Structure 1
Amino acid sequence: MADKIDATDIFDERGNWRSPTITEIARASGCSTATVDRVLNERPGVREVTRKRVLDAFSSLTIESSTDAASCLKIAFLSDSGAAFNQSLKEGVNAYQAAYPNLELSFHSVLTTEVKPVQFAQQIERISQDIDGLVLVAREDLTINRAVRAVTARGVPVVCVTTDLPNSRRVAYIGNDQTGAGSTAACLMGTSISSSNNRVLLVISAPYRCQEERELGFRRVLRSEYPSLTVEERVSSNDDFEYSYRNVRNYIRDHGPPGGIYNVAGGNTGIAEAIRDEGLSGEVTFIGHELNSNSRILLETGGMDFVIGHDLDREISFSIECLRASLKKQDLPNIPSMPVRIFTKYNCF
């Protein structure tokens, strides 16, 4: 037995990891300890289906031991987004790290305005060299999809949070039904916008799937339930204060004030200040996404009317659980639908 697998073998001299015992493998596989002993020592007299069951149990327990042991499971978060969302995600990751110190979590981010897909793809591949799993927030791009496929092919699972990359072979998507979120925004807009001004300005940033799905849901509900409202134009915020402020003010000066503004992206603060500086406070219904320190203040002070949010902490937790399951070669946990949350100045605490 010693020349194969010793149940008392210590793989780390400091005692952080050891191989599973025969009893543990027998319990996990549903076989007797004698059968496990035969399989591990490659002795005859065991059916192939039984041999496979024992080896699968051994593999699963080995992964579990090596990834659940202190400071063994290394997970990186990489986010391509605006400053406010990146900060919220970073705070959530830090809070999870504090609650589970046995994990080794790292956080990396790039601002929307600074992302170059080729360089971002290279960053994905570079970070993945020294981790067990990756949690990703990224725009839809062929180069980025290709990088994720290369990473997963090397055995590093990837989970997408908030915005999806369904063509990248990622393990799972954790987040809202973004089409439903956009539909919710349309319902709020349709019941809040002034009847004397039925024009809606749509604000976008970069080719994130979540933004495209939000716009799809928004337009669909406007067409079917509020046909008098029209989305007149799209302007870009680039998830940036100055960019969104300048573009919204330019739009208002060139076309006049809209009755409502729906921002599927970042840059809420810039939009709110553009509305204020144009003297339109209280006259334009402003709906955006992501409850954070900035949007909370805007709600409280009347700079925004509604914020469509989600439970980012819960999404972080589920993303890590999905990576654990993937590394253990287990079925993914049952991921519940993340509810779309509506925040006003009365419930944004």
Structure 2
Amino acid sequence: MAHPFLVKDIAFQAGLSTATVDRVLNQRPGVRRQTTARVHAAIAELENQQAGLDVQGRKFAIDIVMEAPERFTSAVRRAFESEAQTFAPTVFRCRFHFTETMRPQDIVHLLDRIRLRGTDGLVLKAPDVPEVVGAVSRLEESGIPVVTLVTDLPNSQRTAYAGADNRTAGETAAYLIGERFAGAPATVLVTLSSGRFRGEEEREIGFRRVLRERYPSIRIVEISEGHGRDAETGALAGEALSAHPDINAAYSIGGGNRSVLSAFERLDRRCSLFIAHDLDEDNLALLRARRIHFVLHHDLKTDARTAFRTIMLHRRAASAAAGPQLSAVVVITPYNVPD
């Protein structure tokens, strides 16, 4: 297999040993089909990362670990790959570890493996639970900077947080809903992917606080643990709508929005106002079709830039002026969708 990459670089990208990669490259027997596919995928990722980089500068190999639905991780991958090009001649090689759901012990095992193998930095979206916080501490104590992405681990030793102010985002959603109903009774279906994520909890806290203080006539019905997946989230939404016939609006913190809308439609119920988070492909299509009304968006490229700069700063490859910054929360309608 012709390629310009070192075996050790392919092994790093694929998460395999150099011996295994060598067996695949030389087409020796005894290698599973899935392992061969991982090697081919690693080479393709390295080719994508190298494309357009005519000048070679300092190189950083980083790991991005996320528990999130595929529609969101795809957006994150695009943001990191796109933003990496703007740092030339510095080169960022990103290795992605994405899964829709993971047990905390599996996340810890992965983080410990990355720590022992070595990396220039780690970007992490994971639940705020003691086991994960402990793994982050071990990474930091080993000299590996950890940047939490979108959802924070504030009680950990992480180096920085890259993302929006989630409490402000929740407050913004409450304002939009409160002003829409103008003191009239309303009941909002609030959907979380899981109560384990600090970012979602912060959004809900901000949302509840503003409703309680400024719009007390608006009630909340909450569903959680659908993990942003359509089947589980749709089932939970259907149960909530059946039990609460007064629900007439939705604030989706955790995703699965097509399934929530389908639950309204199955019961022949109208959703007068639907607010979602993140301008992924699903939400963009729903917004343009006027099926959801507002998307609270923040630029993932800003988050990627913060992560890259934080790692460079930690490795003394950037000035202190290039430190972290929060992403701005923008209210998106069908008329102001960004490029």
- Normalising by structure 1, report the TM-score: 0.75
**8 Å contact kept, 1:149–1:170:** yes
SS class of match (2:322) = coil
User: Which of 78, 83, 86 is residue 65 of structure 2 equivalent to?
Assistant: 78
**8 Å contact kept, 2:146–2:158:** yes
User: Which of 217, 220, 237 is residue 228 of structure 1 equivalent to?
Assistant: 217
5+ residue gaps, structure 1, are 1-67
Distance 1:204 1:324 in 2: 34
User: Which of 306, 331, 335 is residue 342 of structure 1 equivalent to?
Assistant: 331
Shift of 1:98: 4.2
SS class of match (2:59) = coil
**8 Å contact kept, 2:151–2:198:** yes
User: Corresponding residue for 1:202?
Assistant: 190
**8 Å contact kept, 1:200–1:230:** yes
Distance 1:288 1:346 in 2: 16
Q: 1:168 to 1:69 in 2, by over 3 A?
A: farther
User: Corresponding residue for 1:290?
Assistant: 278
Shift of 1:72: 3.1
User: Corresponding residue for 1:300?
Assistant: 288
Q: 1:335 to 1:162 in 2, by over 3 A?
A: same
User: Corresponding residue for 1:89?
Assistant: 76
1:92-131 to structure 2, matched below 5 A, reads 92-100=79-87, 102-111=91-100, 114-128=101-115, 129-131=117-119
1:201-249 CA deviation, whole Å, 9 max, x = no partner?
A: 2111221111110000000000111011111343443210111111111
1:178-222 CA deviation, whole Å, 9 max, x = no partner?
A: 110000000011122486641112111221111110000000000
Distance 1:197 1:235 in 2: 24
The percent identity for this pair of structures is 28
1:82-129 CA deviation, whole Å, 9 max, x = no partner?
A: 221111101112223444562222111111xx3100111111121232
User: Corresponding residue for 1:15?
Assistant: none
**8 Å contact kept, 1:299–1:348:** no
User: Is residue 275 of structure 1 aligned with residue 264 of structure 2?
Assistant: yes
Distance 1:194 1:277 in 2: 28
Q: 1:302 to 1:287 in 2, by over 3 A?
A: same
Shift of 1:309: 1.0
Structure exhibiting the larger radius of gyration computed from Cα positions:
1
5+ residue gaps, structure 2, are 1-54
Distance 2:238 2:227 in 1: 15
- Normalising by structure 2, report the TM-score: 0.77
Shift of 1:287: 1.1
Distance 1:82 1:332 in 2: 34
Q: 1:76 to 1:178 in 2, by over 3 A?
A: same
Residue type matched to 1:272 in 2? Answer: L
Distance 1:298 1:315 in 2: 24
Report how many residues are paired. 279
SS class of match (1:259) = strand
SS class of match (1:139) = coil
1:8-61 CA deviation, whole Å, 9 max, x = no partner?
A: xxxxxxxxxxxxxxxxxxxxxxxxxxxxxxxxxxxxxxxxxxxxxxxxxxxxxx
SS class of match (1:103) = strand
**8 Å contact kept, 2:306–2:323:** no
Shift of 1:138: 1.1
